[in-house]
Structure 1
Amino acid sequence: MTDRKSELAVNLAAVEERIASACAAAGREREEVTLIVVTKTYPASDVRLLSELGVRHVAENRDQDAAPKAAACEDLALTWHFVGQLQTNKVRSVVGYADVVQSVDRVKLVSALSVAAVRAEREPVCLIQVALDAESGERGARGGVAPDGIEELATAVADSPGLRLGGLMTVAPLAGPYAGRQQAAFDRLLEISSRLRGNHPAANMVSAGMSADLEDAVKAGATHVRVGTAVLGVRPRLG
């Protein structure tokens, strides 16, 4: 085993233990939580090592990095998640490899995704990104739609050819009433998710929590956690 593979194996084991412990503390089964490893800024060679170590879900946040990496790893049995703010001019490329788009936050983006998905004969799962720091009708500082805009977007996704509504995603906000209150933020997301499932029963994915706060997300009921640094190490600076 290479030094890098050994490093990743140790880190993965530690993250797995954290998730398992958080599930046990919350009275949940470990299988209820899916680990997504966020591989942004790291090379395709790391993605291959992660695959060898049993990782099945990986995430990227920039198309210019993700597209070539996904192409280099297309022989691997991986589910690719796109988690960054998405511009409409990148949609066609993203739909080519992303199985899940976690950052849907406006109707214009839904329309673009639908057109691209139909053209590519793909059916990506879409998560509505919820901005808990946004006022009514606004977007959050890190992307996402205010809570009162979720139903409109969810209906748009559900009614669009080529798309499947999967559920909700959030990033713990840096401002607003939930700043520094990750547990409260994730609890609020689960409340919103419960309401969403009233009209869209299949939209049961809840993506929340990262390296620093995955325990809070698991306690709240998240189905997916997005972990980068705790698995891959401190990210190199982008030029």
Structure 2
Amino acid sequence: MAGRKSELAANLATVERRITAACAAAGREREEVTLIVVTKTYPASDVRLLHELGVRQVAENRDQDAAPKAAACEDLSLTWHFVGQLQTNKVRSVASYADVVQSVDRAKLVSALSAAAVRTEREVGCLLQVALDAESGERGARGGVAPDGIEELAAAVAGAPGLRLDGLMTVAPLAGRYAGRQRAAFDRLLELASRLRADHPAANMVSAGMSADLEDAVAAGATHVRVGTAVLGVRPRLG
């Protein structure tokens, strides 16, 4: 366990240097960017080690992995983010532990999340996942609402009991005009986020960038980056 903690500490230090350098290059303060460590496929023991190393924000993308992990770590002071595509039949479970759901992309999911949040007497933060590869009225290949659907979906979240509209999230698309153009994709997300804040000033969270492209996200103005492999290493998927 000591060896694993040392490995995680070294990886975290490397990621911290990358974020710090990216902030300096962009003329931003380091405090403007929050690191979320994506712990999918890794055990609860790693989450505990990360907590010992100062990590307070973690993310998961599959409920079947996340629910038992969150339960095993419920004594820790952590903010849990759910970042995967979310089916309505998993909403009740996810709403019981997730503090923020970053993958809200359709009205049906808003309704289900609202009902679950009210039932569990929790407030769940919501990020609208934006699909920059989606045509008008469609969803993206990795989930997400088309840009022209943001306004309507934001209004639904803002008016839903038990939910809090926190901002926008995107995953750099693999197809379409932004494929292979991460910086352009993140710049576009920031434009959309600025428009959203005009109607919803408190929705100021912008989640973008992962291990390979966090510098592009920081340069564009992201407030949160989601890093998994660069911190935890490469490991075969579970299940």
Same fold (TM over 0.5): yes
Match of 1:159 in 2: 159
User: How far does residue 120 in structure 1 lie from its aligned partner after superposition?
Assistant: 0.3
User: How far does residue 236 in structure 1 lie from its aligned partner after superposition?
Assistant: 1.5
Matched position secondary structure for 1:172: coil
The amino acid that maps onto 1:207 is: S
Aligned length: 239
**2:116 aligned with 1:121, yes or no?**
no
- Alpha-carbon distance in 2 for matches of 1:97, 1:105: 20
- Alpha-carbon distance in 1 for matches of 2:23, 2:124: 28
- Alpha-carbon distance in 1 for matches of 2:30, 2:173: 26
The amino acid that maps onto 1:213 is: D
- Alpha-carbon distance in 2 for matches of 1:146, 1:57: 27
Match of 2:26 in 1: 26
Match of 2:184 in 1: 184
- Alpha-carbon distance in 1 for matches of 2:19, 2:42: 23
Deviation readout 1:122-168 (Å, 9 max, x if unpaired): 00100000000000000000000000000110000000000000000
- Alpha-carbon distance in 2 for matches of 1:221, 1:47: 27
Match of 2:86 in 1: 86
**TM value normalised by structure 2:** 0.99
Matched position secondary structure for 1:42: coil
User: How far does residue 238 in structure 1 lie from its aligned partner after superposition?
Assistant: 3.6
- Alpha-carbon distance in 2 for matches of 1:237, 1:95: 24
**TM value normalised by structure 1:** 0.99
- Alpha-carbon distance in 1 for matches of 2:41, 2:31: 28
- The within-5 A match list for 1:162-177 is 162-177=162-177
Matched position secondary structure for 1:66: helix
Match of 1:230 in 2: 230
- Alpha-carbon distance in 1 for matches of 2:155, 2:27: 33
Task: Output the aligned Cα RMSD.
Answer: 0.7
Residue identity over aligned pairs, in percent, reads 88
Matched position secondary structure for 2:102: strand
- Alpha-carbon distance in 2 for matches of 1:219, 1:138: 28
User: How far does residue 24 in structure 1 lie from its aligned partner after superposition?
Assistant: 0.5
User: How far does residue 235 in structure 1 lie from its aligned partner after superposition?
Assistant: 2.4
- The within-5 A match list for 1:29-178 is 29-178=29-178
The amino acid that maps onto 2:226 is: R
User: How far does residue 237 in structure 1 lie from its aligned partner after superposition?
Assistant: 3.6
The amino acid that maps onto 1:200 is: H
User: How far does residue 195 in structure 1 lie from its aligned partner after superposition?
Assistant: 0.4
Matched position secondary structure for 1:74: coil
The amino acid that maps onto 1:35 is: L
Match of 1:7 in 2: 7
Segments of 5+ residues of structure 1 without an aligned counterpart are: none
The amino acid that maps onto 1:113 is: L
Match of 1:203 in 2: 203
- Alpha-carbon distance in 1 for matches of 2:235, 2:149: 34
- Alpha-carbon distance in 2 for matches of 1:59, 1:238: 16
The amino acid that maps onto 2:86 is: L
- Alpha-carbon distance in 1 for matches of 2:185, 2:113: 28
Matched position secondary structure for 2:217: helix
Q: Which runs of 4+ in 1 moved over 4 A?
A: none
Segments of 5+ residues of structure 2 without an aligned counterpart are: none
- Alpha-carbon distance in 1 for matches of 2:165, 2:145: 15
Matched position secondary structure for 2:103: strand
